Amino acid sequence: MVGVTALYFAILISVSLIINSFAKGEEQGIVTQIINQIAYDIIAIPLGLGFSIFFLAISRNKKPTLETLFYGFNKTAEVIWLYIVIVFFILLWSLLLIIPGIIAAIAYSQSYWILADEHNTLRGVAILDYSKKLMDGNKWKWVCLSFRFLGWSILCILTLGIGFLWLLPYMQTTFAQFYDDIKNEYENRESSDFLEVPSAQSVTGSVDNNSKP
């Protein structure tokens, strides 16, 4: 897992260096900066999805290969569109106040895990809606889980970032397990609610029985 994380960081750093090298020695205007950012995101966002796919498989006791890291590129258009939609809605909520924006970001936090899930059939905004349902009643759990890594992250910064090679795999696996836990909890709750709904036949039968002398 450390090797995959090192490769992940190496690719991101290399892409950033290559993009910046084209503008080296030139004054970068706002348009150039936007183009550079778009070029970087086209690589970084699908790669990040592949990183999630890899550790979701790890959390499910599977044995992903190194190629799994690049599976996100099979969903490049989907994940970039999802990223754009998430950013749009978070900014929209942030126009009200910073707190609604933060709450929206937490509510949408499971979106990439949903897209990374091999069993997922949802697309676009439907993924955001499902993420909101999963996080209903679980936002504070997610916040507490995130704060568990705050101290470790500070220590990793003191190691000039080297410590993240070990911390990030642990974090990804933990959040992947969190996704599976709240997903199973939600599906079980939905199944229970469905089973508790009386059928039309049973209701009709009950009415008929009550109508008899």
The model carries a pTM of 0.84
* pLDDT tens-place string over residues 106-118: 999 999 999 999 8
Domain boundaries, the chain: 2-197
pLDDT of 197 above 70: no
Whether the CB-CB separation of 178 and 142 falls below 8 Å is answered with yes
Q: Is the pLDDT of residue 188 over 50?
A: yes
- Separation between Cα atoms, residue 119 and residue 210, nearest integer Å: 46
What per-residue confidence (pLDDT) applies to 195? 63
Q: Does position 213 have pLDDT exceeding 50, yes or no?
A: no
Q: Tokens standing for 180?
A: 């599976």
Q: Render pLDDT for 29-76 as a digit per residue (tens, 0 to 9).
A: 787 788 888 999 999 999 999 999 999 999 999 999 999 999 999 999
**CA-CA distance, 133 to 183, in Å (whole number)?**
9
Task: Report percent pLDDT > 70 for the chain.
Answer: 87
Residue 80's Cβ-side half-sphere holds a number of Cα atoms within 13 Å equal to: 15
Buried/exposed code over 187-206 (b: 16+ C-beta within 10 A; e: otherwise): eeeeeeeeeeeeeeeeeeee
Residue 111: which of 126, 94, 91 has the closest Cα? 126
